Chains A and B, each alone.
Chain A
Amino acid sequence: MEHTPPPFFNRGPAPVVRVTFFVLLSVFLMVLDARFRYTEPLRQVLMTAAYPLQRAVLAPVEAGARIGDYFQSLSGLQEENAALRAEKLKAAQDLMTLEAVRAENAQLRGLLDARERARSDAVFAEIVYGSRDPFARRVVIDKGFTQGIELGRPVIDTEGVLGQVTRVTPLASEVTLITHKDHSIPVQVARNGLRAIAYGTSDGSAMELRHLPINIDVQNDDELITSGIDGVYPQGLRVGKVVRVDRDATFSFARILVTPAAGTDRQRQVLVLRTTEEAPPYPAAEEPAKRPAKGKKARRSEG
């Protein structure tokens, strides 16, 4: 007792003790997170706490854009207006045919007694920042479950499919890009309707179509669209373009590289879709009736 220092020299536990405690704590947290996913509430609290900071970062960028808009010259706007008018006129024709085709389609579908394909509504969102993690391709958008974002929603931009919502917090959500290593998306070659699955590559910059035979009918510059068979991505969204097809006979499969159509480095505005289409129910599990034990029991009860 006499040897303890007076309280004003007290510095608490030694650094070694502290660092051991915190290292053990972080390893504990990582195991909880990776194996059991118990840490989601804590993560949501932390993400919400960091959210004001992230908005603050973007404020100067947005202010700059607004000032730029203000000083945009009148002639520039007039030019743009004229170009847009011309474009609208051109689009009007397509629109009229589209209306006609849609009506015709509805009629035919009604005749075939097919379910009307669901039209999805969307939530507009902006990319706040890209994850600082070179291992994983993710972005964070500025809408959370308070704005009606749900887990698993597809996210698109004007060029094509961007990814899928994989984590939702009250004010922000995380989108895993389609180029992420563990992400896969069912696609269809627009030219011939061939279905395949596009997987993200390990460096997260492109996608590839795996497990397709060497003589498959896929060419360079083939457009890929979503096939919609997974019930997550609606049908017909642009996914990307085939940039390389290697048909090496020493491998059993062709190596097909695809660049995504959407890009996080080009646009900040995205749409989060809500697909109202309900997936058909899973086929019922097979009855385990052929098991010998059960059969014996059944026979015994019969006899």
Chain B
Amino acid sequence: MAIYAPGQRILLPVNPWFIAFTVLAAFVFDMLPWRDVRAVPDLLAVVIVFWAIREPRKIGIGIPFVLGLLMDAANGVLLGQHALAYSVMAFMSVTLSRRILWFGLPAQALHVLGILLVGQLLMFAVRMIASASFPGFSYFVGPFIAAALWPVASFLMLAPQRRPESVDETRPI
């Protein structure tokens, strides 16, 4: 039972298939051939954090770990780098979910920014230990863009739960 922000309506229970669909869509988005990946936020991380905050019991820490492994393999980076970041991000989201849901969307976005930055810093630390060179501060731009997209993302991903439960056939819209 989640506690919702003041003024928010009671949502329908989430469809697990919709969670799977958003995760898949985010993964596909991350796989697109981007010209400069630094400015493109890691949407999979946003989706994981979103569902870990909204449904802490549906998406635990194991699923993000496996998704992280997939990302590592697909990107050809050190196996475990994304897995580490995603599982820590999911853990933070699960433990903070009761707190975060009390706030309105802008304050939620601030919390999410913190979580995403921790993930990015973890990956950065892993790479520095594995003797990569400094990629420049633009590496940390992604989480800011992702946090700015948070209100849009949460509106979109909650839309299926906002439908009325009983469909009124005579309603014009």
Contact = CB atoms under 8 A, between A and B. Distances in A.
B32 interface: yes
Interface in B15-40: 24, 27-28, 30-35, 37-38, 40
B144 to A, nearest CB: 15
A134 interface: yes
A203 interface: yes
A202 B134 CA distance: 8
Nearest to A45: B73
Given A27-B80, A140-B76, A135 B132 contact: yes
Contacts of A167: 76
Contacts of A11: 57
Contact of A22 (B75, B83, B95): B83
Given A29-B69, A30-B80, A56-B28, 7 more contacts: A15-B60, A29-B80, A30-B84, A30-B130, A46-B69, A130-B34, A135-B127
A132 B65 contact: no
Given A19-B88, A53-B27, A43 B78 contact: no
A225 B81 CA distance: 37
A108 interface: no
A132 B35 CA distance: 10
B70 interface: yes
Range of interface residues on chain A?
35 or more
A132 B34 contact: yes
B23 to A, nearest CB: 11
A251 B105 CA distance: 55
Interface string A21-33: 0110111111011
A15 B76 contact: no
A26 B130 contact: no
A30 B81 contact: yes
B33 A129 contact: yes
Contact of A50 (B35, B70, B94, B130): B70
Contacts, number: 138
Interface of A: 11, 15-16, 18-19, 22-23, 25-30, 32-34, 39, 42-43, 46-47, 49-50, 53-54, 56-58, 127-136, 138, 140, 167, 174, 181, 202-203, 265
B116 to A, nearest CB: 15
Nearest to A140: B76
B156 to A, nearest CB: 20
Given A18-B62, A129-B32, A135-B133, A33 B91 contact: no
10 contacts: A15-B60, A15-B61, A26-B65, A30-B130, A46-B69, A56-B28, A132-B42, A135-B132, A140-B74, A140-B76
Interface in B66-107: 68-81, 83-84, 87-88, 90-91, 94-95
Contacts of B135: 134-135, 203
A54 B31 contact: yes
Contacts of A202: 133-134
A97 B94 CA distance: 72
A92 to B, nearest CB: 37
B7 interface: no
Contacts of A203: 133, 135-136
Contacts of A16: 91
Contacts of B80: 25-30, 33
